[in-house]
Amino acid sequence: MGRIAPVHLQFITSWKAFDTILKIIFEGLRGYGKVKRKEFVLQERATSRDISHVVPWLSAFRPGQFVEMSLVFRESVVLEDGISNSPNRTLDLNLCPNCQTKPDTDVSLDISW
């Protein structure tokens, strides 16, 4: 979504607190449903290492670390109108889910919309 939000580790001390803060940050904005359902991936910028909720909170992050968050879109997608895509409704997942723009890079790479 192109937003930058600093997360201060001295105030957030658990995955539960982190998830709650994310919900508050996204409330009323596009992507809120995906954040609420935890349909996102966290990745360390420098190493492209995924950061998993399985890792204990104290081992997951370090001060000064830059982490990128990406929303995850799967083949079975609930569209904005609340209707799940079906064989009768095709949805090209290589297009931006908001404006249907085709990326100008290889779709196997991470794409910023």
**Alpha-carbon distance 27 to 68, whole Å?**
19
- Range with top average pLDDT, 56-65, 68-77, 92-101, 102-111: 56-65
Mean pLDDT throughout 13-31?
91
Closest CA to 90 of 106, 105, 79, 101: 79
* Model pTM score: 0.63
- Paired tokens of 100: 């249907």
What pLDDT shows up at residue 102? 67
**Alpha-carbon distance 32 to 34, whole Å?**
5
SS3 33: helix
- Give me the amino acid identity at 65: Q
R_g of the chain computed on alpha carbons: 16
Please give the C-alpha separations between residue 43 and each of 23, 75, 81, 83, 99, in angstroms, as whole numbers.
Answer: 18, 22, 30, 30, 25
**Alpha-carbon distance 23 to 63, whole Å?**
22
Mean pLDDT throughout 98-113?
58
